[in-house]
Amino acid sequence: MGICFGTAAQIDDTGAGQGFGSRIAVAPGHAQQGSKDANSGKLNDDSEVSVDGQPNLKSFTFDDLRHATKSFSSDGLIGEGGFGFVFKGWINEHNLAPSKPGSGMVVAVKKLKAHSFQGHREWLTELRFLGKLHHENLVKLIGYCSESENRLLVYEFMPKGSLENHLFKRGVQPMDWATRMQVAVDVARGLSFLHSLDANVIYRDLKPSNILIDSKFHAKLSDFGLARKGPTGDGSHVSTRVVGTLGYAAPEYLARGHLSPRSDVYSFGVVLLELLSGKRAQGDETIRGSLVDWAKPLIRDSRHFSRVMDTRLRGEYYKKSVQAVSFLALQCLNNDPQDRPSMSEVLFELQQIKPIKNLP
């Protein structure tokens, strides 16, 4: 996107499992809201949150979760990232007590690495948002553990893993076009809910590794560690530190730290391109440069449009459907955020597109 992050910018490790991925750290020259106070050692601004007052969530002990995950056995490791690990666990679906492996309800347990300040901050943020927000396209947070230096979160288990695996992992059966359309609608519905007046939340880290798939191939947003409240009143954006993931962050956010719901719309446009092409937003070996820079001119030129499409689909898609989705992606990727549609408008447009020709 033509933005230089400088030598201070760092990228975390990418996790292939449930709820972790590579991220941009604070870029030099941007306000570091929510940073650590040098005098008090506490979190400032909207990053500070108490674990008290979460009546909808179960407070687990560390021993509860140790038993639920077979002592955090490596056999149950389903994800790993810069700030911790995700393990498969089992709890009683009625009283949420730990149960024997293979019995009860399957859950995903995210365990933070000790002494990770950034990880602790994201743990608090995720606890605050997912403890209060409930929607069919958001992963359900069941409970948490805050005991001594241990910080854990317990989520519903998503058996089909992440969209990242379905799009990019070798040996995995590729999603057909109708399923990809379903995923796009589900993600748009989740983001539209977050951007609503009642929630007013900017997700800030949309990417395939944070989109999880349930047993019926419906998609849900996970990992709210970078989410924050949106602008209020007449404000068009909030100014904040630059965090997120290379290839998905909106240009105005990278350049000036201006964050708005339309920043999520840009990221959604990138994900639409990934659904169309089966190529990664950044670092795909089959193209030169970013996916956005590669795909835009091809979509605009009908003679070369077919080059954008994922060859693993083997042409089994309704041409008018994929063209409509690609043009919608271009609208989401406008450089000026004011020229992008809102997520509610995107959702409406997606719901009008027939994934296959013979649908009524």
pLDDT one-digit tens code per residue, 316-354: 998 999 999 999 999 999 999 999 999 999 999 999 998
3-state secondary structure of 220: strand
pLDDT tens per residue across span 214-254: 999 999 999 999 999 988 766 677 878 888 788 999 999 99
pLDDT greater at residue 297 or residue 355: 297
Q: 151: which strand partners?
A: 146
Tokens of 134: 């409930």
Contact by Cβ (8 Å): 37, 44: yes
User: What percentage of the chain exceeds 90 in pLDDT?
Assistant: 68
Residue 88 buriedness (CB in 10 A; 0-12 / 13-18 / 19+): buried
Q: What is the pLDDT of residues 59-106, one digit of tens each?
A: 999 999 999 999 999 999 999 876 789 999 999 999 999 998 889 999
Other C-beta atoms within 10 Å of 53: how many? 10
Closest among 82, 30, 11, 19 to 282, alpha carbons compared: 11
Q: Which of 205, 223, 264, 284 is catalytic?
A: 205
Question: In whole angstroms, how far apart are CA 2 and each of 23, 179, 250, 292?
Answer: 18, 33, 12, 12
Q: In this structure, are residues 303 and 352 in contact, taking their beta carbons and an 8 Å threshold?
A: no
- At the topology level, CATH places domain 45-156 in Phosphorylase Kinase; domain 1 (3.30.200)
Catalytic status, residue 205: yes
Highest mean pLDDT among 24-33, 54-63, 319-328: 319-328
| Residue 220 identity | K
Question: Which segments are annotated as binding site for ATP?
Answer: 111
At 47, is the pLDDT very low, low, confident or very high (cuts 50, 70, 90)?
very low
- The structural architecture, per CATH, of the domain 163-352 is Orthogonal Bundle (1.10)
Among the ranges given (32-36, 148-152, 166-170, 336-340), the one the predictor scored with the smallest mean pLDDT:
32-36
Residue 70 neighbours by CB distance under 10 Å: 16
Domain locations in the chain?
45-156, 163-352
pTM equals: 0.85
Q: Which H or E run contains 127?
A: helix 117-130
Separation of alpha carbons 126 and 122, rounded Å: 6
Phi, psi dihedral angles at 163 (to 5 degrees) = -60, -30
CB of 143 closer than 8 Å to CB of 123 = no
Rounded CA gap, 258 and 252, in Å? 6
Closest CA to 277 of 297, 265, 295, 290: 295
Point out the least confidently predicted range of 20-24, 55-59, 204-208, 271-275.
Answer: 20-24
Which residues are documented as binding site?
111
Query: When comparing pLDDT for 20 and 299, which is higher?
Result: 299
Tokens 């996790």, residue located? 15
Per-residue burial over 159-173, b if 16 or more Cβ lie within 10 Å, else e, is ebbbbbbbbbeeeee
Looking at residue 8, its pLDDT comes to 30
357 three-state secondary structure: coil
pLDDT at 90: 97
Q: Is 217 exposed, middle or buried (0-12, 13-18, 19+ CB in 10 A)?
A: middle
